[in-house]
Amino acid sequence: MKQSFQVLLSSSKIDNIWGENSSLSFDETGATIHIESFVDNLSSMEKIQKAARSIAQMKVPEVTLVGEWPLEAQWHFWQGSFEPKKSLNINFAELPVDETQTLESRVKVHTWVRQIINQTPEELSPIGLATEAGDFISQLAPDLINYKIISGKELEEKGYVGIFGVGRGSTRPPALLELDFCPKGHSNKSPAAALVGKGITFDSGGYSLKSSVGMLHMKSDMGGAATVAGALALAITSGLNQRVKLYLCCAENLVSGHAYKLADILKYRNGVSVEVVNTDAEGRLVLADGLIDASESGAPIIIDAATLTGAAMVAVGSDYNALFSMDDELAAQFISIAESEKDLAWRLPLTANHRNNCPSAYADTANSRPMPGGGSGAASNAAGFLSRFVSTPETGWLHVDLAACFKDSGDSLWSAGATGRGVRSIAAFLNQL
């Protein structure tokens, strides 16, 4: 019988023979991860995640976690062990029943999120993304969920000018998923929250064509849709008892004789006209349609998530997601929840004046500024653009620019590809409504 590689968690000091900065030692049965204490803090959890990453790269077929392993420790071990090609098989340590369920739910949802973001653009079409998300969430509570998908010409007929405009250049039609999670007794109530996700299944940049290097990882440009869908799924598994609506705005941004062009003007259902000055600033154009629907739903809380700007990554790096809001109390609540979930976010500036930072001589606004990356303050200006499509942007609205949801290459904490960052914080926020 093959023996599993055993991993012990210990607060004992590591012997110097294993290296000055190491937290991982080995014996004949497996490995020990050395942490300062079993107190749940980010430093210790990141040590566990780094150790798991090292063990996963050793290509052992299976590990068993032995001894005392708190919930967060096991969760961070799983995060570090995940690999796009073949993840490590883990026999988790015993936990109380409720914590076992929490761990299993996190693993299930984050596996789905990371795998769907890592799918190739050929595998995942806009309609495919909408369908997979709808089916995944529905199987968690089939009696409480219904969804519909609007696609192709029907989007144009119903005035979804952003989703249709961005997606019309592809032979695979764009799509909007509208999903309603409605617990018993809530059918006559407005939703407590609405989630909106950017679902660009591949982004060539359109006629504002990206470089080959810039285009390589653009299968991840649907990370916002995967994140909010995963967040709703995780909240449901954690006992969500509020009505929540989900809108996924899905399209491929490709070049063709049918693609939208620079200088086109899009006239949205809420009366806002937009001049296209950069076809690579397409995420905000599709999100605008979803935000209009979210506002019309009557939800007092709207959260949108998107891999929207490179400027957010420049500002906060890849360990934080960038948060924008004009509602100070709501933003502080979200930041606090994100910190407690070890799913960090950092607030960047957004005021009512940011909506005017992309002027147009031909329309109410342009979709960006006609310069590389949108110029200075591009992440805040993108958020300001989105504010035009929220009925009350000063209250109840959060915009999450997902700087941390994907890694172009692996590092000491994460494999290459999707990380799932953003899912826990949004799910926990929903569970506190």
pLDDT (tens digit, 9 = 90+) per residue, 77-107?
Answer: 999 999 999 889 999 999 999 999 999 999 9
For residue 86, the model assigns a pLDDT of 85
Task: Please tell me whether residues 120 and 189 are part of one structural domain.
Answer: yes
Task: Please tell me whether residues 74 and 123 are part of one structural domain.
Answer: no
Task: Please tell me whether residues 64 and 122 are part of one structural domain.
Answer: no
Greater model confidence, 126 or 2: 126
Task: Please tell me whether residues 75 and 211 are part of one structural domain.
Answer: no
CA-closest candidate to residue 339, choices 325, 323, 315: 323
Cα–Cα distance between 138 and 144 in angstroms, integer? 8
Could you tell me if 179 and 246 are in contact, meaning their C-beta atoms sit under 8 angstroms apart? yes
Whether residue 161 is contained in a domain is answered as yes
For residue 103, the model assigns a pLDDT of 98
Whether residue 18 is contained in a domain is answered as yes
Q: Which of these three, 95, 127, 156, is where a domain ends?
A: 95
Whether residue 101 is contained in a domain is answered as no
The residues near 394 (Cβ < 8 Å, ≥ 6 apart) are 326, 327, 352
Whether residue 107 is contained in a domain is answered as no
Taking the complete model, does pTM exceed 0.85, yes or no?
yes
* Run of H or E including 296: helix 283-296
Task: Please tell me whether residues 177 and 84 are part of one structural domain.
Answer: no
DSSP β-bridge partners for residue 407: 417
By residue range, what is the domain housing residue 59?
5-95
Q: Which of these three, 42, 65, 95, is where a domain ends?
A: 95
Is 210 marked active-site?
yes
For residue 2, the model assigns a pLDDT of 60
Per-residue pLDDT for 1 more than 90?
no
Cα–Cα distance between 17 and 12 in angstroms, integer? 14
* φ, ψ of residue 210 in degrees (nearest 5): -75, 160
* φ, ψ of residue 208 in degrees (nearest 5): -85, 65
Number of domains in the chain: 2
Query: Looking at the chain, how many residues does it have?
Result: 433
Task: Please tell me whether residues 165 and 215 are part of one structural domain.
Answer: yes
Task: Please tell me whether residues 157 and 71 are part of one structural domain.
Answer: no
Whether residue 100 is contained in a domain is answered as no
Q: Which of these three, 60, 95, 130, is where a domain ends?
A: 95
Task: Please tell me whether residues 269 and 405 are part of one structural domain.
Answer: yes
Cα–Cα distance between 290 and 364 in angstroms, integer? 19
Whether residue 62 is contained in a domain is answered as yes
pLDDT (tens digit, 9 = 90+) per residue, 47-86?
Answer: 999 999 999 999 888 999 999 999 999 999 999 999 999 8
Task: Please tell me whether residues 90 and 202 are part of one structural domain.
Answer: no
Considering the candidates 108, 210, 269, 347, report the single residue annotated as catalytic.
210
Task: Please tell me whether residues 306 and 182 are part of one structural domain.
Answer: yes
Cα–Cα distance between 59 and 51 in angstroms, integer? 13
Is 284 marked active-site?
yes
Q: How confident is the model at residue 373 (pLDDT cuts 50, 70, 90)?
A: confident
Buried b (16+ CB within 10 A) or exposed e, 238-267: bebebbbbbbbbbbbbbbeeebbeeebebe
* φ, ψ of residue 370 in degrees (nearest 5): -75, 65
Distance of CA 315 to the CA centre of its chain: 18
The residues near 160 (Cβ < 8 Å, ≥ 6 apart) are 150, 176, 269, 289
Helix (H) and strand (E) counts in the chain: 13, 18
**One-character DSSP codes across 247-287:** EEEEEEE--STTS--TT-EEE-TTS-EEE-S-TT--HHHHH
Report residue 35 as tokens: 């942490």
Q: Domain of 164: which CATH number? A: 3.40.630.10
Considering the candidates 50, 114, 198, 284, report the single residue annotated as catalytic.
284
Residue with tokens 């930041």: 335
Answer positive or negative: Cα dihedral of 135, 198, 343, 397.
Answer: negative
For residue 38, the model assigns a pLDDT of 85
The upper half-sphere exposure of residue 241, i.e. CA atoms within 13 Å in the direction of its Cβ, equals: 3
Whether residue 88 is contained in a domain is answered as yes
Rg (CA), the chain: 22
Whether residue 104 is contained in a domain is answered as no
Task: Please tell me whether residues 211 and 237 are part of one structural domain.
Answer: yes
Task: Please tell me whether residues 250 and 305 are part of one structural domain.
Answer: yes
Query: Which residue intervals of 119-146 are DSSP H helices?
Result: 126-138
pLDDT (tens digit, 9 = 90+) per residue, 279-322?
Answer: 999 999 999 999 999 999 999 999 999 999 999 999 999 999 99
pLDDT (tens digit, 9 = 90+) per residue, 8-29?
Answer: 999 999 998 998 889 999 999 9
